[in-house]
Amino acid sequence: MCLFLLPVITPAARSQTALAAPVTQFQLTNGLTVIVKTDRRAPTVAHMLWVRVGAMDEVDGSTGVAHVLEHMMFKGTPSLKPGEFSRRVAALGGRDNAFTSRDATGYHQQIPSDKLEDVMRLEADRFARNQWVDEEFKRELEVVKEERRLRTEDSPRALMYENANAITFLASPYRRPVVGWMSDLDAMTPDDARAFYRRWYVPANAAVVVAGDVDVAQVRLLAEKYYGGIAASPVPARKPRVEPVQTGLRRLDFKAPASQAYVSLSFKVPGLRTPGAGAGTGDAFNRDALALTVLSAVLDGYSGARLDRALTQGEQRLADSAGASNGLIGRGPQLFSLDGVPAEGKTAQQVSDALRAQVARVASEGVSEAELKRVKTQWIASETYKLDAVFNQARQLGSYWINGLPLDTDERLISQLRSITAAEVQAVAARYFGDDQLTIATLLPQPPDPSRQMRAPAAAVRH
pLDDT tens-digit map of 7-54: 333 444 444 555 557 999 999 999 999 999 999 999 999 999 999 999
The pLDDT tens digits for 177-200 are 999 999 999 999 999 999 999 999
Whether residue 312 has pLDDT greater than 50: yes
Report the share of the chain in percent with pLDDT over 90: 86
C-alpha radius of gyration, the chain, whole number: 24
Domains of the chain: 20-226 (3.30.830.10), 250-446 (3.30.830.10)
The pLDDT of residue 448 is 87
Q: What is the mean pLDDT of residues 222-232?
A: 98
What DSSP string runs through 396-437?
HHHHHHHTT--TTHHHHHHHHHHT--HHHHHHHHHHS-SGGG
Pairing of strands 334-342, 438-446: unpaired
Whether residue 461 has pLDDT greater than 70: no
Confidence label for 384 from pLDDT (cuts 50, 70 and 90): confident
Confidence label for 139 from pLDDT (cuts 50, 70 and 90): very high
The pLDDT of residue 198 is 98
Confidence label for 283 from pLDDT (cuts 50, 70 and 90): low
H/E stretch holding 38 reads strand 33-38
What DSSP string runs through 328-384?
---SS-EEEEEEEEEPTT--HHHHHHHHHHHHHHHHHH---HHHHHHHHHHHHHHHH
Confidence label for 315 from pLDDT (cuts 50, 70 and 90): confident
Listed range (39-43, 380-384, 451-455) with the worst mean pLDDT:
451-455
Listed range (230-239, 359-368, 411-420, 453-462) with the worst mean pLDDT:
453-462
Whether residue 278 has pLDDT greater than 90: no
Listed range (97-106, 192-201, 209-218, 381-390) with the worst mean pLDDT:
381-390
The pLDDT tens digits for 323-377 are 999 999 999 999 999 999 999 999 999 999 999 999 999 999 999 999 999 999 9
Whether residue 449 has pLDDT greater than 90: no
Residue 391 · residue 385 · CB < 8 Å: no
Report the share of the chain in percent with pLDDT over 70: 91
**Which amino acid, residue 348?**
A
The pLDDT of residue 284 is 76
Residue 302 · residue 290 · CB < 8 Å: no
Q: What is the mean pLDDT of residues 50-69?
A: 97
The pLDDT of residue 3 is 31
